[in-house]
Structure 1
Amino acid sequence: MQRIAVLLMVSVMSTGASAQSFTCPIGKSPSCLDYSDKVCSSFAKCVADDAVCFDSFTCNYKGFVCKSVLDEAVEQHDDIVKKYNSLMDDRNSIAQRLTAATQENNENIERNARLFSTLQEAESCVGKALTLEEAQACSF
């Protein structure tokens, strides 16, 4: 009777060992899987059954981003860019007006300097004149 029990025990143990015994090709490693586990190629990405696919170019430099989260950031960025561009347009307009006003101011300074020089020459000429004819002969 003991022989039958030992024989039965040895056969059960050998059945379990042979059921879990397997080999892998060279360069591959074995793995134990739980219920609902998936096997993916090392060149592929495994995703959950309820995963959602997005259009191309929905990734940023940090990695994958859900498009719905990215939309708000893009809108804020676009608003900031528009505001920046508007401010730059205002700045450029003011800079152009300042350049034009500076040029006009410099021209006025040069004109005033010429007029002042002409006035000094006229005063000097008239001041040196001894007669009315000499004063009228001054050119200005």
Structure 2
Amino acid sequence: MRITVLLLGLFLVPIPAAAQQGFSCSYGDRGACLGYGDTVCSSSGKCVSESAVCFDSYQCNYEGFTCKSNLTECADEYGALQTRFNVLVNDYNELLEESQVMRAEFQGAVEDLDDTRRDLRRTEETLYEIRSCIEGLSGLDNPDNCLP
């Protein structure tokens, strides 16, 4: 019975030399012991973090390595904002053109008002002269002489 327990103990306790014998590397590679948090990089420099996600081949669409992510929504939102911006620019340009036409029409109306005021002043002055002339006439004077 002692021999059985002894043999069982030998099988349960790993011998360091026996444990290392099962480790092998491909031709040209070297074995290494990694500590907690260490990463393994290939000779081509492709390293990944522990939170990296691997994708199947051909999983990504025409947008590249990002696959289906928030980049798609971002691109769609950008396109919508660009369309809205273009509509606003067109609206602004139309309003600017309308305001320039209205400004020109308003300026013309102001000039017409100034001309009308000038004509009114001249007419009032002429009327005043005619009234003064008629008031200064004697009974024998011809009132036609007071007309301009």
Place the TM-score, normalised by the shorter chain, in its bin. 0.5 to 0.7
The residue type paired with residue 89 of structure 2 is: V
Aligned equivalents of 2:85, 2:120: Cα separation in 1: 52
Q: Spell out the pairing of 1:1-140 with structure 2 (5 A cutoff).
A: 9-11=15-17, 12=19, 19-21=31-33, 31-32=39-40, 38-39=46-47, 50=60, 52-53=63-64, 65-66=74-75, 68-130=76-138, 131-133=140-142, 135-138=143-146, 140=148
Q: How many corresponding residue pairs?
A: 111
Match in the other structure for 1:25 = none
1:71 shift after superposition? 2.2
1:15 shift after superposition? 8.2
Write the deviation string for residues 65-97 of structure 1: whole angstroms up to 9, x where unpaired: 42x442222122211221222122222211211
Q: Which runs of 5+ in 2 are unaligned?
A: 1-5, 24-29, 49-54, 65-73
Specify whether residues 108 and 19 from structure 1 end up closer, same or farther in structure 2 by C-alpha distance, changes over 3 A only.
Answer: same
Larger radius of gyration: 2
Q: Which runs of 5+ in 1 are unaligned?
A: 23-29, 41-47, 54-64
1:13 shift after superposition? 6.1
Question: Alignment identity in percent?
Answer: 12
SS class of match (2:15): helix
Highest RCO, 1 vs 2 (Cα 8 Å, sep ≥ 6): 1
Aligned equivalents of 1:73, 1:136: Cα separation in 2: 78
